[in-house]
Chain A
Amino acid sequence: MSAQRQSSEFWSAAARWATAMSFLPAAFRQASVSCLAVLLLAGPALARDFPPEALPAKPLVLPTPAVRVLPNGLKVVAIERHLLPLLTLRLVVKSGAESDPATLPGTAQLVSALLTEGTPTRSASQIAETIDSIGGLVDTGAGWDESYLSLSVLNDHEELAFDLLSDMAMHSNFAPAEFERKRRQTISGLEVVHDDADYVADAALRRLAFLGTAYGHPEDGTLASVRRMTPEDLRAFYERYYHPSNTVLAIVGDINTAEAFERAEKCFGAWANRAAPVKAAASPEVVSHRILAIDKPDAVQTEIRIGDPGVPRTDPDYLALSIADQILGGPSENRLFKALRSHQGLTYGASSELLSYQTAGVWLVKTFTRTPETLKSVHLALEQIKRMHDHAITAEELQTAQGYLIGHLALDFESSDDVASHTLELLVYNLPLDYWNRFPEKIRALTAEEVWNAAGRRLASENNIIVLVGSLSGFEKDLKKLGAVEFIPLAKVDFASPVPGGSR
């Protein structure tokens, strides 16, 4: 996209946890009108027009997923959507980068990258040729708590899509030549991103904030770990985690539910089950205060990250914290954005995000600024975190955040891919299938006090982690005012070491 007002990552991060379905209660619209009246009185006495009333809200009808568990344990979800001649299959294995062997970060991701690279009956080239020829779109990847393989096709190639997807999921053969090629590509990719301040800041923050949990390494691995990997390492991961009872399959699009189940049964019925992998136990919250400054002398901007303790995805406080996060750093004119961008022009973007996984969570604040304004920006961001800790949120802030989370649900269920992802998220985290239907009432029921309690408890300056990546000579002296700072040159950063600058 061209010169956008805000980065697309910003919006997609916000959209990820936005959910809900029906529309704003009448009380909300009244409240917003009265708060405008206050603004009008407070402002200069000029004649001012106001927007008209909204139309009556239309109900949002969420798709109802049909679920069937095959005898081998594979859970299949079917959702019919007949508006376009399109079929999307999305297969999710409930293990991702958190299941990487401790010495081999990046394993889950390389495994997923090789799913399209050959089976005993199809070479990598044949798979690519087949998918491209029918105008199919394939995507694979591994994040936290999940690995996925998805395939979208026009609905005249249903049978082929099921056949191909099941072959790749069940019979990937990790041929040495294909492995070597993908590994080399991964290494080149890492070499490039290790010069990117944005990537380095994210990875260093993750290392420190998730230290001691299964989530504290780069999901794409490190140069050392990828160089060490062998096809056998990938096969071991694949055999341990890729099996029916650890997998869910979503079938979304122009297909009847009965036919969807029948095809799933035919293609995946022979997949042999194994014992479910043991998930790591819940990790303790181990965030303790640290400040890390990484020196990149050619940088003209400093990337700033601040990590505070968050919650796992299924924590009872998750929804309350979602509202607080919306107020602190959600889309558009949130508190961080106002303080750093609208009022001071220090940055193009300031946001916050809940990194909430199966057994751990971190509340992340992100921004960046020109080198000389680094300290000022860090202070302003810390000030907003402290404000969230010290003071209750206002009724208006609560209503705006609730209105967004509930109203945005309609925008989140438009494409087949979105429908599949939102439904699979429930299955990955063992959330009830009517979660999105009940989301609006749950969000609406939260009070300002509950939101503040959930947020304030987790924000304290003695346990946040600050990571800065920039040209340190521009602000090094001032930096010491923040407290004890660890300084590291970019070339010495090791994302797998407990001390990212330490030698290993």
Chain B
Amino acid sequence: MSRKYHKSHAAGSVVLAATLFLLAGICRVAEAVTLPHTTIQTFTLPNGLDACLVEDHQSPVVDVQVWYHVGSKNEVPGRTGFAHLFEHLMFDGTTNVGAEEFSDYVIRSGGIDNAYTTEDTTVFWETTPSSQLPVVLWLEADRMRNLDITESVFNNEREVVEEERRLRFDNPPYGTVVETLYQHAYTVHPYQHMTIGSMHDLDAARIEDIRDFYDTYYVPNNATLVIVGDLDPVEAESMIRKYFGPLDRGARLPSNNIPQEPPQTAKRLVKLDLNVALPAFVEGYHMPADGTPDAYPLRLASNILSEGESSRIYRRLVYDKQIALEAQSTGNFTEDPNLFFVFAVLNQGHAPAEGEAEVEAELARLKTQLVSDAELQKAKNETLRDFILSRQSTQTRGDELGYAAVVLKDPNLVNTELARFLAVTPEDIQRVARQYFVAENMTLVEVHPNNTQGSGPASETGTAGQ
């Protein structure tokens, strides 16, 4: 599934009270685990560029990220996939840097660079030895305003992106299942289409569209620069002002009239007949945007349902009943309201309906019985662990900071967000389960193996529901 899931977060100076249970045979009083506070320096240049810096000398490494607040939800019908195609073009040369040179500058110092596009953002990043900071900042400032794309480069890059689509969606088993889910779960909001776009729209993309997209979205006042690592903040700020300061602010403000999805009122069912070995299904329930109060109990509900082998859905479908190869739940939390998923790949001889009934029983249990304090604490401990693990690398710290600043609109959430998880009560979990995990809010995609090798591409056999 080619979507970016945002799961763990960096955290602030929050203490998890020593209420961890005493396990059989281990009579040791748990000490409080504390996370170090992250000091963030933020400032905005006169041209509108936001900057967030974190000084951290644990290794001689620096991570630079430029977050453009544009993703596939900014695309209009007929132009799906354009934000991501544009991400590729950003590596294809400027008036100062040749078509294959950007990454060469990064690689020859031992660094790595890449980029990704989500529904909401397009992110360019470089992780390098810290001595390379001025080089990387210069390179990013250069391509923010000096892109220089020829028609042949554009056509070449479009073919590369079409290969990427085949690789991730059209060729692998089950590759189109999530795309089908979104096509049916959404009716007007652009989350209806995948970030990669449709092959038809990619074919139709024209070089004439580039300049307008670039001038609208790739401007300092639509970008956030994140730097984490072995840096001197005074020196870093002066470099930022030197390289990004002269860039012109964008003339037009990015339009923000994205159609909001109306509430779903009836269950939607899609059956797919695919050339795969095992049956499967995925359910998607509409849920609120990331950073909203209900996002936190929903994330913890996801842990309770499927994080670790003692979690409820894993336990029931994979371990006890042994009807599934794997079964999981996860929320795709984004800037606008997205979907909470439950999916399973079933063992041979078990129909999707059988797995769906077991999932339904677990969701019903969440709605009718309060989770125990111990089980909720387990979910919180897993969250705390993820916060700590994400602190280990300079790059993941940059990821968390950029996400907090751009999508959640508050960089300091890397310090304060853990507290929101720890404040969740069993009643909160029950309330969100009752509110969101209901049939009329759900889209279900069933996958039925057609068991005939080479009978051609997947076909939709029917759409039901009222």
Contacts and interface: CB of A to CB of B under 8 A. Distances in A.
Interface of A: 1-7, 11, 15, 18, 20, 23-24, 28, 32, 39, 43, 46, 48-60, 83-86, 116, 124-125, 128-137, 152, 154-157, 159-160, 163, 181, 184-185, 188-189, 191-192, 194-198, 295-301, 330-333, 338, 341-349, 368-370, 399-400, 403-411, 413-416, 471, 489-491
Nearest to A197: B171
B438 interface: no
Given A83-B58, A188-B348, A405-B110, A301 B167 contact: yes
30 contacts: A2-B84, A3-B168, A3-B196, A43-B98, A46-B95, A49-B96, A52-B134, A55-B133, A58-B60, A58-B230, A128-B309, A132-B307, A132-B378, A132-B382, A133-B21, A154-B33, A192-B278, A194-B277, A296-B453, A297-B456, A298-B455, A301-B171, A332-B107, A342-B100, A344-B156, A346-B159, A348-B163, A403-B107, A407-B108, A409-B110
A499 B307 CA distance: 42
A491 to B, nearest CB: 5
B106 to A, nearest CB: 8
Top-8 shortest CB links A-B? A407-B110, A297-B454, A135-B381, A345-B159, A132-B308, A135-B385, A128-B309, A188-B325
A55 B142 contact: no
Interface in B132-162: 132-135, 138-139, 142, 155-162
A45 to B, nearest CB: 13
Given A128-B308, A163-B26, A400-B108, A137 B60 contact: no
A189 B3 CA distance: 23
A208 B325 CA distance: 30
Nearest to A415: B392
Given A3-B196, A345-B160, A84 B110 contact: no
A139 to B, nearest CB: 12
A185 B173 contact: no
A133 B30 CA distance: 13
Nearest to A345: B159
B117 A300 contact: no
A81 to B, nearest CB: 9
A342 B88 CA distance: 11
Nearest to B458: A298
B454 A298 contact: yes
B109 to A, nearest CB: 5
Contacts of A51: 105, 134-135, 138-139
Interface stretch (B47-55, B123-131, B415-423, B425-433): B123-131
Given A125-B319, A155-B31, 5 more contacts: A50-B96, A154-B381, A159-B28, A192-B278, A403-B109
B388 to A, nearest CB: 6
A54 B100 contact: no
A52 B110 contact: no
Interface residues of B, number: 112
B350 to A, nearest CB: 10
A325 B393 CA distance: 27
Contacts of A55: 130-134
A409 B116 CA distance: 24
B276 A370 contact: no
Contacts of A196: 172-173
B87 interface: yes
A83 B392 CA distance: 9
Contact of A408 (B110, B163, B196, B388): B110
A133 B104 contact: no
B28 A57 contact: no
Contact of A301 (B26, B134, B163): B163
B163 A369 contact: yes
Nearest to B394: A414
Contacts of B392: 84, 86, 414-416
B384 A130 contact: no
Contacts of B158: 345
A128 B110 CA distance: 40
B308 A58 contact: no
B116 A3 contact: yes
Scoring A194, A197, A332, A342 by chain B CB atoms within 10 A of each residue's CB, the highest score goes to A332
B251 interface: no
A56 to B, nearest CB: 6
A331 B454 contact: no
B142 A49 contact: yes
Nearest to B148: A46
Interface string B437-466: 000000000000000011111000000000
Contacts of A23: 110, 129, 131
B99 interface: yes
B269 interface: no
B396 to A, nearest CB: 9
Contact of A3 (B87, B131, B391): B87
Interface in B5-38: 18, 20-21, 23, 26, 28, 30-36
Contacts of B455: 297-298
Contacts of B156: 342-345
B221 interface: no
Nearest to B167: A348
